[in-house]
A = this chain, B = another copy of it.
Amino acid sequence: MSDKQKKQNWREYVRRIDPYVPGEQPKERNIVKLNTNENPYPPSKRVEAVLRGLDPASLRLYPDPDASVLISAIAKHSGVDEDEVFAGVGSDDVLAMAFMTFFNSREPLLFPDISYSFYEVWADLFQVPFEKVPLDEAFRIRTSDYKRANGGIIFPNPNAPTGILLSIREIREILDANRDSVVIVDEAYIDFGGESAVPLIREYDNLLVVQTFSKSRSGAGLRIGYAVGSRELIRHMRDVKFSYNSYTLNPLQIMGGAAMIEDEEHFRKCRDRIIATRERSAVRLKEMGFSVLPSAANFLFASHPSLGGEELFRFLKEHGIYVRHWNKARIENYLRITIGTEEEMEQLFRVLALMIKE
C-alpha cells in the first residue's frame, strides 16, 4: 500500500554518522594496557566503602536528579559555587551536552587539527559547522590562529594526543580575543602537570572548563565528568540536560564520585607516581632513539626515526602491549603511550628493545 503512495521511507532521514572509535577494551586479562589513558592505580578506598554501604533497596527509587551530593563535592574541590558546576556521564556526556547547548551558530566552531577526535564526531552529530586549525610544526596551538570569526572554540589543555600544555597567559589571550564565543577548555589531563583555567570563570562568563574523574581520579569505570563555568552557562546546560534525560547519574556515581574527589591524599599520591614514571619513561624512550613531545599529561606521544608508527603498534600488540596509534596525516608515525605502573613500563621497554635490536 504505502509503496504505491511513494512516501519517503524512514531510511532517507536516518541520522548517519561515522562514530568515534574508542581505544580497545580487550577482554583478555594478560595484557599491558597502555591505550586508553586509564590510571594504573585503583581509586580511593572510600569508593569501596560507598559500594559496600549502598542500600540495594534504595535502587527502587529514582536518584537525585540534581546529583547534589556530587555537585557539592565538586564545587568545594573547585572553589566555586554549586550553580557553577554541571555533572554528567563522563566528560564525553558533558562535552556532547555543551556542543548541543552552545554550538548552534553558522560560523564555524574552531578546534586543533590534531586533538581529541570526538570533537569532529560531535560536530557531525549535531550538524555544527567547524574548521580544524592546524597546530604549528612543533605540534603547538598558536593562539593567534584563534583570533577570527567563529561560532565557538574548543581545545584540550594539555592537548591530546600530544600532551603539550598551554599556559594560563595563552588561554587568556584566546579568551580576550573571543569574548563573544563560548570557549571550552577540556582539562581531562590538567592534573598531571598543568594549571587549571577554573579560576578564570569569574572573569570570563563565556569560559567553560571541563574535567573528568576518568584519569587522575582513577574512575574511568564510574563515568563521571563535569563542567565549571558561569552561572549563566551552567543554567543553559542544565536546561538541555533536563530536556534530554532527567536522571543521568545513579547513586554509585553520585556518592562514589563525591567520595573520590574528597580523597585529596590518595589523588596526590597516584598523580605524583604517574608524573615520576612519565619523566623516567620519557628519558628511557629518548635513550632508545625516540623523539618524545614534552607531556603534561598521563601519556607520552613519541615517534622513532626508523620505525613506522603502524609497525611499532603491531609489534607491541603482538607482544601483549596495547598502545594507541592513528593512521592520520602528520601523526601516523607517532604512538600515544599511556603511563602505566613502573612494572608495566618496564615490560614496554623490554619489548621495544627487542624491536630496536632487530
Chain A positions within 8 Å of B, measured between CB atoms, are: 1-3, 7-10, 12-22, 25, 27, 33, 36, 38-43, 45, 47-48, 51-52, 54, 56-65, 89-90, 92-93, 96, 100-105, 107, 121-122, 124-125, 149, 151-152, 176-182, 206, 214, 218-223, 236, 238-253, 256
Contacts and interface: CB of A to CB of B under 8 A. Distances in A.
A121 B239 CA distance: 11
B105 A62 contact: no
Given A17-B243, A54-B51, A245-B93, A180 B102 contact: no
Nearest to A245: B92
A62 B22 contact: yes
A60 B221 contact: yes
Contact of A15 (B20, B100, B121): B100
Given A10-B180, A65-B22, A149-B7, A92 B247 contact: yes
A89 B248 contact: yes
Contact of A2 (B52, B64, B178, B253): B178
A25 to B, nearest CB: 6
30 contacts: A2-B177, A2-B180, A3-B179, A13-B105, A14-B101, A18-B239, A19-B241, A19-B242, A19-B243, A21-B242, A22-B62, A25-B63, A33-B61, A38-B60, A42-B56, A42-B59, A51-B51, A59-B219, A59-B220, A59-B221, A59-B222, A61-B221, A89-B245, A92-B244, A92-B246, A125-B244, A222-B250, A223-B249, A223-B250, A250-B250
A38 B61 contact: yes
Prevailing SS type, chain A contact patch = loop
B8 A105 contact: yes
Nearest 9 pairs of A and B residues by beta carbon: A19-B242, A42-B57, A59-B221, A48-B56, A22-B246, A17-B243, A60-B218, A13-B104, A92-B245
A173 to B, nearest CB: 12
Contacts of A101: 14-15
Given A104-B15, A223-B63, A250-B222, A180 B8 contact: yes
B89 A60 contact: no
A56 to B, nearest CB: 4
A221 B39 contact: no
Looking at A1, A42, A223, A242, which has the most chain B CB atoms within 10 Å of its CB?
A223
A243 B89 contact: no
A220 B42 CA distance: 28
Contacts of A38: 60-62
